[in-house]
Each structure stands twice: as structure tokens, then as C-alpha cells.
Amino acid sequence: MYLVGLTGGIASGKSTVSSMLRELGCPIIDADVVARKVVEQHTLAYSRIVYHFGPEILLENGEIDRQKLGQIIFANEEKRKLLNSITHPEIHKAMLKEILFYFLRGYRYVVLDVPLLFETRRLTQFLNHTVVVYCDPATQLLRLMQRDGLTQEQAEQRVAAQMPLNEKRGLANHVIENSGGREDTHRQVLRLHTKLEDSMDFLLVRVIAIAATAGLGGILLYAAKILLS
């Protein structure tokens, strides 16, 4: 099994593309979903967040108020880095468990849906393909304002907190252009799906995994049997 990284920018349409791939049968590990799980009450990340940001970021039921925490980190780069240093290691460990689950089930590849894929760069070295969902800046800003009910200033602040989409596009192997309609995006996703299905990258990864499991001695014994047969 090989790994595909899917990313984009806030309100660029990454979730739409992820849903389309899931409908086509692709296994998806959503970092946002994992991120919510690792900060649930009684987890290590939850305790560290409350310690550093204070109980005022909690809802009445004790859960983290994601909106309030978001307002803090988007307005303060140091606090955003602090939060990332707390959550990212826990997110990556949880994602690794899911990757192993799909590997054992025999999937050819799994898609890692990661908003900050290129910002953190911790996962890129393990990826065979990277996909960026792109839309032009004006469309991105308008979608964000409409989706979250933000002012233009608030929306610009959130967009500025991320790596520019143009920069991400230059780092990716594949780009889904999502400035237009849903049908056009779907056609591009179908083409991407075909490329991923046709890729033979999973064979090399499986050979390496088998070799690591069997050990060099097992490989040499197998080779000797073939030569002597």
C-alpha cells in the first residue's frame, strides 16, 4: 500500500474532493476528524491545551470550544505554533494506526486528508503522491465568508494564517482546480482516481514491507531455493 496526501486551503474545496474520492471507494483518513478525537476530554492533548490556554477555552460541558480557541490562534502566531506542537504528534500517531489497519486489509493505497500537509512537512517524506485542491484567492475568500459568516477582515486573517495556495500548488504532484463548478471538479477527480488505481507504486511498498518482516536471512533463503530448484 502506498500513501496519497490530499491538501488545500481553507474553503478551497478539499472536503468536497475528499468526499468524491470516498464515494469512488478510496479509503480516506481525515486529519480533521482525527484532530477532534485526540483533543477529547481525558486525553493527553486535551490536558496540555487546557494547561497552556486556560479553562476559559472550555464549553460548559468541559469540551474545548473550537471557535474560541480558533480566534486565539489565528490572532497569535506563537500560540498557533504552540497548539500545533501539542496536537500534531498525537494526530500523526492516531493516523499511523489507521494506516496500518488499511494496510492489513490489503488496500493498494490510502488517502491522507491533511489541511497543513505542506506547512508541517512531517508526512510528505512518506507520500508517493500529493494532491492540492486549488481555487483562486477571490473565490476562496468569498466562499469562506459565506460558509462561516465572517467579515472580510476575519476571512483574510484566516487565509493569511496558511501557506498560500499558489505555493502549495507548486509543491504538489497533482492539482484539482476547484474555482469552477462541481461537475468540472468531479471530472478532474475521476481522472485522478484512474491514475491512482493504475499506479503500481503499491507493489514496491509491499515488497519492502515483506522484506522488512521476513528479514534479510529469509530473503536469501528464498533466493537460494529458487536457484537450487
Residue of 83, 82, 170 lying closest to 118 (CA atoms): 170
- Which own/partner pairs from 96-104 qualify as long-range (CB within 8 Å, at least 24 positions apart)? 98/29, 98/34, 99/1, 99/3, 99/29, 102/1, 102/27, 102/29, 103/1, 103/209
Task: Compute the distance between CA of residue 10 and CA of residue 82 in angstroms, rounded to an integer.
Answer: 20
Amino acid at 209: A
Which residues, 6 or more positions from 144, have their beta carbon under 8 angstroms from its beta carbon? 10, 11, 150, 155, 158, 159
Per residue in 132-187, pLDDT tens?
999 999 999 999 999 999 999 999 999 998 999 999 999 999 999 999 999 999 99
User: What pLDDT shows up at residue 57?
Assistant: 96
Which tops the pLDDT comparison, 170 or 205?
170
Residue 220 pLDDT class (50, 70, 90 cuts): very low
Cell of 71: 480566534
User: What pLDDT shows up at residue 228?
Assistant: 47
Task: Compute the distance between CA of residue 216 and CA of residue 193 in angstroms, rounded to an integer.
Answer: 35
pTM of the model: 0.79
User: What pLDDT shows up at residue 161?
Assistant: 86
Residue 229 has pLDDT above 50, yes or no: no
Q: Do residues 99 and 205 touch, judged by C-beta distance below 8 A? A: no
Residue of 121, 132, 119, 131 lying closest to 160 (CA atoms): 119
Q: Do residues 17 and 140 touch, judged by C-beta distance below 8 A? A: no
Residue 201 pLDDT class (50, 70, 90 cuts): low
Per residue in 20-49, pLDDT tens?
999 999 999 999 999 999 999 999 999 999
Residue 100 has pLDDT above 60, yes or no: yes
